[in-house]
Amino acid sequence: MGILVAINVVLIAAGRLVFPTDDTQVGKGVRVGLVFDLGGKDDKSFNTAAWRGLEQAKSELGVHVEYIEPSEGNDRAAALRSLAAKGLDLVIGVGVIVGPDLEQLAKEFPNVDFAGIDYAPNESSPKLPNLVALKFREQEGSFLVGAIAALVSRSHVIGFVGGMKLPLIRKFEVGYTAGAQYVCPTCRVLAVYAGTTPKAFNDAPRGQELGAALYDEGADIIFTAAGKTGDGVFAVARSRGLYAIGVDSDQYDMAPCCIVTSMLKRVDLAVVDVVREVVQHHFHGGVHDLGLAEKRVGFVADERNRRLLPLDVVERAQQLSDAIVAGSIQVPFQ
């Protein structure tokens, strides 16, 4: 500060002043709340990505943040309401299940902005100026890891373990299957789901059971889109020395022996983006549709997993990514 004062003394005559800047102060006074999905912030997948985004918004923008880790579905609705009732500037709900709750709360609290990660409004959904859907084209990233799975598989049989049987998770499966068959038309894709309730995203023993069954059927690599249920699949992969593919976050550390790559879903960046919109007074309701072109889905390829993921496979996947962005490959989602 002493140097800055001295410079200002010199510049006063010229009518100019130098002021210190601090980007972390731009969001000072803005309050952001987030309610996690089942599994909580330490699930090392979907919720963990949201947590990273919240922490990044705090450090980069200077906003005040708070969060709630509920245990059941009804708890999530109550948690969202409690944050909205505090009059926070932005309340973020994580997970497809909370969509109806966000719609109701956005009507009740018009002075609070809301964002839903994986909220999927349809034609009959209310159009609210204070509610934004953060949707991802998961099928695009899944297409790439499906191609990777087919290219590294020796048995030409690959697996998919989904969590709750929902249209959202179906997008992962459809994209994965399309990518595999694009590069290997003769490859078989075996797909199973952990259940039809939210518990399907938080049941590692069930994941272990399903993973073992798919490996028994000949699959030598399994992509899991099932939250903490996927931990069970990784456990089987470790015990058998077979391959797996993580989801949402880089899950390499869950099984360094066996995780070839992870399909990235940049929930962290989507959180920072929407917080920044509130801070800059640019928030508006509607849908943010996020995919490869926006660099909000992708796959992991770095030195850590190079032993399992050869460079030529990475280059092939990148070529496919470029083709999807260019529009020459249309990825199905249902």
Looking at the structure, do residues 118 and 71 belong to the same domain, yes or no?
yes
Looking at the structure, do residues 271 and 126 belong to the same domain, yes or no?
yes
pLDDT at 23: 53
Distance (Å, rounded) from C-alpha 246 to C-alpha 230? Answer: 8
Domain annotation covers residue 3: no
The three-state secondary structure class of 309 is: coil
Domain annotation covers residue 16: no
Looking at the structure, do residues 279 and 227 belong to the same domain, yes or no?
no
Looking at the structure, do residues 205 and 313 belong to the same domain, yes or no?
yes
pLDDT digits (tens, 9 = 90+) for 158-203: 999 999 999 999 999 999 999 999 999 999 999 999 999 989 999 9
Domain annotation covers residue 177: yes
Maximal CA-CA distance, the chain = 81
Domain annotation covers residue 23: no
N residues, the chain: 334
Distance (Å, rounded) from C-alpha 32 to C-alpha 59? Answer: 13
Query: Residue 30 is encoded by which pair of tokens?
Result: 């803005």
Looking at the structure, do residues 81 and 166 belong to the same domain, yes or no?
no
Domain annotation covers residue 11: no
Looking at the structure, do residues 132 and 144 belong to the same domain, yes or no?
no
Q: Domain containing 72 — which CATH number?
A: 3.40.50.2300
| Residue with tokens 């070839």, as numbered in its chain | 260
Q: How would you label 34-68 residue by residue, b for 16+ Cβ within 10 Å and e otherwise?
A: bbbbbbbbebbbbbbbbbbbbbebbeebbbebebb
At 210, the amino acid letter reads L
Domain annotation covers residue 6: no
Looking at the structure, do residues 124 and 81 belong to the same domain, yes or no?
yes
pLDDT digits (tens, 9 = 90+) for 111-137: 999 999 999 898 889 999 999 999 999
Task: Answer left, alpha or beta for residue 61, where phi above 0 means left and psi between -120 and 50 means alpha.
Answer: alpha
Domain annotation covers residue 25: no
Looking at the structure, do residues 278 and 254 belong to the same domain, yes or no?
no
Looking at the structure, do residues 249 and 142 belong to the same domain, yes or no?
yes
Looking at the structure, do residues 123 and 271 belong to the same domain, yes or no?
yes
Domain that holds residue 47: 30-136+267-290
**Cβ atoms 231, 246 nearer than 8 A:** no
Neighbours of 94 (CB within 10 A): 30
Domain annotation covers residue 286: yes
**Cβ atoms 89, 28 nearer than 8 A:** no
pLDDT at 9: 36
The three-state secondary structure class of 273 is: helix
**Cβ atoms 183, 323 nearer than 8 A:** no
pLDDT digits (tens, 9 = 90+) for 51-65: 999 999 999 999 999
* Segments of the chain with pLDDT less than 70: 1-25, 72-74
Count of domains observed in the chain: 2
Query: Residue 129 is encoded by which pair of tokens?
Result: 């100026």
Looking at the structure, do residues 235 and 100 belong to the same domain, yes or no?
no
Looking at the structure, do residues 87 and 132 belong to the same domain, yes or no?
yes
